[in-house]
Amino acid sequence: MIRILMLTMSLHQAFGTQVSETWAEYECPEMALQYDVVAGFGGNNKTQCEQLWSLNKRTFATYADGEVGCHEPCIMVQSGNIRLRTCVNVTLTILCSFEFLEESRIYFTGRVYQSPGAITLGLPHQEGTRNGYYGFLVAAVILLIVAILGFVWKALNSRRTSSTV
C-alpha cells in the first residue's frame, strides 16, 4: 500500500505554473520479480494528463492519451501506475494543461522488506551480521591452518627423535 508522506509542497514558478510535489513509498518484497507503483489519483482529472516516469532525471516511461512508452526498468505502464523490473526510486511527473499548465511530481521510494514466510538461504542480509560470519569463517580457517602445521611439525619432530635413537 502506498503511504503518502505528509510532506507536500507547492512551488510557484515563472509564468504562473504551479508545481505540486509529494513523496510516497511503495513496497518491494525481497524475492519479488516485479514491483507495482500506484499513484492513486482518486477522482481528479489527472488520467487525462501527460505522465512521465523518470529514474535519475531520465524519462523511461510515458503515458499520454492512451499512448504508452515503456523502457527498462519498466515492464508495463498505465495511467497512474507502473510495473517495474527492479525496486528503484522513481519520479512520476504529471503535466496537465486545463486553464493553465499544472505540474505535479510524486517521488516514489521503494521500501525493501522480507515477505512473510520467505526462506532465506545462505548468510543473513544484514551487513553487520554478514561481517560477523566472515570473521568467524576467517578464524576457523586460521585455526585449521595452525592445526595442520602443528600436526606436520609433530610428525617431523617424531621422525627426527626416532632416527637419532
| CA separation for the pair 163, 142 (Å, rounded) | 32
Mean pLDDT, rounded, of the chain: 76
Per-residue pLDDT tens over the stretch 90-132? 999 999 887 778 888 999 999 988 766 554 444 344 434 444 5
Show the cell assigned to 52: 512521465
What was the pLDDT predicted at 153? 87
The pLDDT of residue 21 is above 50: yes
Show the cell assigned to 139: 578464524
Per-residue pLDDT tens over the stretch 58-78? 999 999 888 899 999 999 998
Q: Spell out the residues 6+ positions from residue 133 whose beta carbon is closer than 8 angstroms to its own.
A: 123, 124
Mean pLDDT of 9-30: 69
Q: What Å distances lie between residue 155 and 34, 69, 131, 146, 151, CA to CA? A: 59, 73, 36, 14, 6
The pLDDT of residue 137 is above 70: yes
